[in-house]
């Protein structure tokens, strides 16, 4: 029987997750929770630009809790633990990109109680996008002996991120450096990236200093920069870097970094992506040094990204690919260290059960 899935929130990740569920041979879309009254009662297919599929969106959490479903892809902008607890207690497994990648179980009593009561499982896939800062570095590290440093790093043109309010008011672009440095984004990102760093530190056995080091940097525009979120004036923030580091005697041994730029021109300092362009990188320093570069997770053009951003899509795909494994797992919070290797599924024309 197909695994029945609910999508919670239908923003960029949510819409892509719905498409992935519909394409997955082992899954069936059972429902969708939406935040907006304008989406309430709409056919979910229509919400994602498809033909009607016979599943109606609802703003009622109670309706979702009462629904006969096996798993929820939980992808709001910000997580609400009470919502997750209620879903787990109702007997629904939860897969999410917005938290619980490597949580401190001592602080997860309510969630663990809900998992026990509902015989359900919670798995956080991460939003960078899904595994880049923890799962894949650990896999690649197995190729190297005597590891001295693990680095995961993103280089992205943020002009392709179609969320103007988030880009300006949360990410801190188009404001003064002082406003950007004091804004919420470093804390919001840090909750996830620090967990990723801790997972690598713990699994690989680094003897790190008690506190993780957080560093953020900004570059300002030297000329007006025309962007999808409006003009960034000279002196306003046009590029940002974030680093989360685990240190041993003051030396970084695990680093997760983000580079977000509004293009590559008219910055002070004069940052750029370099000849390799936009990408995600994983680098393990040891014997030998190993470097892995991910391409294709960023769009080829700004226009393409504003319509369908591959980074958003792969974040959603990773959640959906995890569903069968999470449903099969024992109740509780399960990280990448607890689950088997996750895999996608063959396209219908090449998969088992295809018609000729």
Question: Has residue 346 been placed in a domain?
Answer: no
Domain that holds residue 179: 135-296
The encoded tokens of residue 106 equal: 């001592």
Report the C-alpha gap between 5 and 32 in whole angstroms. 9
- The maximal CA–CA distance of the chain, rounded, in angstroms, is 63
Query: Is a pLDDT exceeding 60 seen at residue 317?
Result: yes
- Per residue in 274-311, pLDDT (tens digit) is 999 999 999 999 999 999 999 999 999 999 998 899 99
Same domain, 83 and 213: no
Q: What is the pLDDT of residue 356?
A: 56
The answer to the question of residue 306 being in a domain is no
Co-location of 139 and 262 in the same domain: yes
pLDDT single digits (tens) 65-119: 999 999 999 999 889 999 999 999 999 999 999 999 999 999 999 999 999 999 9
Q: What angle (nearest 5°) sits at the alpha carbon of residue 56, between those of residues 55 and 59?
A: 140
Clarify whether residues 47 and 151 are in a common domain: no
Same domain, 323 and 264: no
For residue 80, the 8-state DSSP code is -
Considering the domain architecture, whether residues 15 and 122 belong to the same structural domain is answered as yes
- Quick: pLDDT tens for 240-268: 999 999 999 999 999 999 999 999 999 99
CATH number of the domain encompassing residue 15: 3.40.50.720
Q: How many domains is the chain built from?
A: 2
Provide, rounded to the nearest whole percent, the portion of the chain with pLDDT above 70: 99
Report the C-alpha gap between 160 and 158 in whole angstroms.
Answer: 5
Q: Could you read off the pLDDT of 6-29 as tens digits, one per residue? A: 999 999 999 999 999 999 999 999
Residue 351: which pLDDT band, with cuts at 50, 70 and 90?
confident
- CB of 136 within 8 A of CB of 292? yes
DSSP H or E stretch at residue 76: none
Say yes or no: 180 and 119 in one domain.
no
**Residues 251, 167 share a domain:** yes
**Average pLDDT, rounded, for the chain:** 95
Q: What is the pLDDT of residue 203?
A: 97
228 with 96, same domain: the answer is no
Q: Give the pLDDT band of residue 354 (cuts 50, 70, 90).
A: low
The pLDDT value given to residue 209? 87
- Whether residue 355 is predicted with pLDDT greater than 90 in this model: the reply is no
Predicted pLDDT at 38: 96
**CATH of residue 172:** 3.30.360
Residue 190 has pLDDT above 60, yes or no: yes
pLDDT confidence tier of residue 130, bands split at 50, 70 and 90: confident
φ, ψ dihedrals at 330, nearest 5°: -70, 155
Classify residue 39: in a domain, yes or no. yes
Percentage of the chain with pLDDT > 90?
90
Both 122 and 146 in a single domain? Answer: no
Q: Is residue 85 located within the same domain as residue 185?
A: no
Locate 36 and state its tokens: 């907006």
Give pLDDT, residue 349. Answer: 86
Give the pLDDT score at 352: 82
């Amino acid at each position: 029987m197909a695994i029945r899935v609910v999508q919670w929130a239908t923003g960029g990740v949510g819409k892509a997750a719905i498409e992935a569920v519909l394409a997955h041979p082992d899954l069936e879309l059972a429902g969708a929770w939406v935040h907006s009254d304008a989406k309430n009662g709409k056919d979910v297919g229509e919400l994602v630009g498809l033909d009607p599929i016979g599943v109606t969106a609802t703003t009622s959490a109670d309706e979702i809790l009462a629904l006969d479903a096996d798993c929820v892809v939980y992808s709001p902008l910000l997580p609400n633990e009470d919502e997750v607890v209620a879903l787990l207690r109702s007997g629904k497994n939860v897969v999410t990109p917005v938290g619980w990648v490597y949580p401190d179980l001592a602080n997860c009593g309510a969630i663990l109680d809900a998992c026990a009561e509902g015989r359900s499982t919670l798995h956080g896939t991460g939003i960078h996008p899904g595994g880049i800062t923890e799962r894949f570095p650990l896999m690649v590290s197995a190729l190297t002996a005597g590891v001295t440093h693990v680095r995961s790093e993103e280089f992205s043109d943020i002009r392709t991120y179609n969320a103007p309010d988030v880009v300006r008011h949360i990410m801190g672009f188009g404001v003064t450096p002082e406003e950007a440095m004091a804004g919420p984004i470093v804390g919001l990102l840090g909750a996830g990236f620090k967990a990723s760093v801790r997972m690598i530190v713990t699994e690989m056995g680094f003897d790190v200093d008690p506190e993780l080091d957080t560093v953020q940097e900004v570059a300002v525009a030297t000329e007006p920069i025309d962007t999808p979120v409006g003009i960034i004036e000279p002196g306003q923030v046009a590029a940002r870097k974030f680093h989360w580091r685990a240190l041993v005697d003051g030396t970084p041994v695990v680093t997760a970094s983000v580079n977000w730029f509004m293009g590559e021109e008219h910055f002070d300092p004069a940052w750029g992506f370099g000849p390799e362009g936009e990408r995600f990188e994983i680098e393990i320093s040891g014997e030998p040094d190993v470097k892995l570069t991910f391409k294709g997770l960023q769009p080829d053009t700004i226009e393409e990204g504003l319509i369908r951003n591959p980074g958003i899509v792969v974040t959603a795909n990773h959640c959906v690919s995890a569903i069968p494994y999470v449903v099969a797992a024992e109740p509780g919070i399960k990280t990448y260290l607890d689950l088997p290797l996750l895999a996608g599924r063959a396209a219908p024309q090449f998969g088992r059960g295809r018609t000729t």
